[in-house]
Amino acid sequence: MPEPPSPPPAQAPAPWVGRRIAHLDMDAFFASVELLSFPELRGQPVVVGGGRRRPGEPPRMRRLREYAGRGVATTATYEARALGVHSGMGLMKAAALAPDAILLPANFEEYGRLSRLFKAAVAELAPTLEDRGIDEIFVDLTEVPGETVALARRLKEAVRAATGLSCSIGVTPNKLLAKIASDLQKPDGLTVLTLDDLPGRVWPLPARAVNGIGPKASARLEAMGLRSIGDLAAADPRDLVAAFGHSYGEWLWEAAHGRDDRPVVTVQELKSISRETTFERDLHPRRDREALTGILVDLCQRLGGDLERKGRRGRTIGIKLRYDTFQTVTRDHTLDEPTADPKAILDAARSCLRRVALDRPLRLLGVRIGSLERPDAGPAQGAGDQDRPGWLFPLN
């Protein structure tokens, strides 16, 4: 009896041609960090939000149904997401969807520590990376030796070894497609796409899957009968320009065809820093004047600390208010000299507050500083000296 023919030898992957850009996104980052501390919660719906945990403070663990307030979900595990909970959702609404989910306060200090660890681990293998936030980066792998899939696996293994956490990676010829690809097989995904994969893998996706197409643009596209990325690619670019303007209309068509020549930017100039908080209940500028004073002081102190850590000072201080009607107002004040001093930030914020109506309850208060620059001298004097100022929240 003749022997069966031997299988053909395995073919090596075709060499990558052109740029090779990865987008690495940590999986449900904040929630996953919490599961490192509470492994007994793995497999359960967990929501992070409703407050923050101070260093050394034990967490308050409770069922979501027990929550009452105005907080929002910072993030949620995939089990909670399967029940309809998502980042930015009000916790009262989330409680209606997942009443038995576990609610944990956010631990931003620990999130920051693990963020630095995973980025350092990636930089050891691929030093050209662009920081896109606490839980995601772009990585230029063009000049890094190794076959694409094997290299992506090495990155994933390095992240897990450094943090104990999983990530999802998309590798494509550019940043736009890499961002899409990293989301296709979450969690713990690895997706490699070339331009030849556009018709089968990218064009069937909804248009909103493209980073830069938000809810309003998505709704307008749908009204034009353009629901998928493929619909957008097949559209007449002249129609897109007529509907959205020259710049954005042309970009929509180019993005649908997977075209993006933006480089991976290793150093980004910081333009502004802000701090804001949404209140558990509406606060009235008169009845809750002392509470608002404390919140404003805290925001300005945190902003001053952010500036010192980042080595920046700023000239333009702004405030942001959201009333109980959901109307949002902002005001800015530009200083003669740049500062990182919480007292100067506080004084400028008060000046801004005197220029808005303070006759309605407030849902949110925020403080921002822009026109940033690097200081020539040492740290700003007086930082941290305003633990309890002698003034209260202004009343116009």
Q: Return the active site residues.
A: 136
User: Which region holds residue 84: left if phi is over 0, alpha if psi is between -120 and 50, else beta?
Assistant: left
The answer to whether 285 touches 362, Cβ cutoff 8 Å, is yes
Identify the DSSP state of 196: G
Assigned token pair, 377 = 């001298």
327, HSE (Cβ side, Cα atoms, 13 Å): 8
CA distance 131 to 120: 11
Token pair 């696996």 in the structure block, residue = 153
Q: In what order do the strands lie in the sheet containing 272-283?
A: 272-283, 362-370, 314-323, 328-339
Three-class secondary structure of residue 277 per DSSP: strand
Closest CA to 235 of 256, 216, 258: 256
Compute the CA torsion angle 112, 113, 119, 120 (nearest 10 deg).
150
Q: Are strands 136-140 and 129-131 parallel, antiparallel or unpaired?
A: antiparallel
